[in-house]
Amino acid sequence: MFYPRAATERPTVPRGWHLENVSITAADGTRLVGVLAMPAVARPPLVIYFGGNAEEVTSFAPLVADVYGERAVLLVNYRGYGESGGKPGEAALVSDGAMLFDWAARRSDLDATRIAIHGRSLGTGVAVQVAAMRPAKCVILTSPFDSALEVAKAIYPWLPVSLLIRHPFDSMARAPRIVVPALFLMGEADTLIPIGHSQRLAAAWGGTVERASFKGFGHDDLDLNPGYREALRSFLDRHL
């Protein structure tokens, strides 16, 4: 489920942006480390990004302007990833995600009324649960799944997966209660999380849903399609 990656080099941000180092202590004493990328505008809206299972999220900092426009972006690594301490687990990652939302909402230099949550792959399981707990303005889900359990059942049909899986990330159970707008970004050639899992979650979403699917693109190369960023930026322009 989890493939932690160490931080390899200090991240950079686009020209004119400010990079703030972030170190936050969770309730159990675990230190979470990342960065906050700030554009040169007053009290910008914020995107909180939850990455995939082998992603060191601060490495995403140089791309924030191209992907999100002039919006602040919070990139804090999961437990055990980058320079963050502890070990990853579903309950801890969700609790940490809610704490990061609260931390950002208390800052006077950010617009707390305009916070978006973006999750990718594994991060969609965190993003959905945080969105169910906190007043996000909108949600973006890249390669999302209905539940990690359902994905695992499809991959290992000969195993008693429901007895073995420790982190089910059941987004399907929470989606109907989330009424904010959501954008679903999906690769039609995704073999790790086949598009059917994403479509089932989209159908269960309680708020308005926009879908963007990309023919010939899979799980890891989805963001290389120019239409990916266009769809994402257009969604944020309308909802954030």
Predicted pLDDT of residue 174: 98
Q: Name the one residue in this structure whose structure tokens are 């969770």.
A: 26
In the predicted model, what is the mean pLDDT of residues 56-64? 96
Q: Percentage of the chain surpassing pLDDT 70?
A: 95
- Report whether pLDDT(163) > 70: no
Q: Residue 121 in contact with residue 127, Cβ under 8 Å? A: no
The mean pLDDT of 217-222, rounded to a whole number, is 96
Q: What pTM value is reported for the model?
A: 0.96
Over range 39-46, report the average pLDDT: 97
Strands ordered across the beta sheet of 72-76: 18-25, 31-38, 72-76, 46-50, 115-120, 138-142, 182-187, 209-214
Instruction: Please state which of the ranges 37-46, 149-158, 202-211 shows the lowest mean pLDDT.
Output: 149-158
Nearest 10 degrees: Cα torsion 107, 33, 175, 122: 160
Phi-psi region of 169 (alpha: psi -120 to 50; beta: other; left: phi over 0): left
Are the C-beta atoms of 56 and 81 separated by less than 8 Å?
Answer: yes
| pLDDT tens for each residue of 83-142 | 999 999 999 999 999 999 999 999 999 999 999 999 999 999 999 999 999 999 999 999
Cα separation of the two ends of the chain: 32
pLDDT exceeding 90 applies to what percent of the chain?
Answer: 88
pLDDT at 166: 77
Q: Dihedrals φ, ψ of 187, to 5°?
A: -95, 125
Average pLDDT (148-157) is 72
Is pLDDT larger for residue 233 or for residue 152?
233
Confidence of residue 2 (pLDDT cuts 50, 70, 90): confident
- Quote the mean pLDDT of the chain: 94
Q: pLDDT category, 1, cuts 50, 70, 90?
A: confident
**66 against 156, higher pLDDT:** 66
203 confidence band (pLDDT: 50, 70, 90) = very high
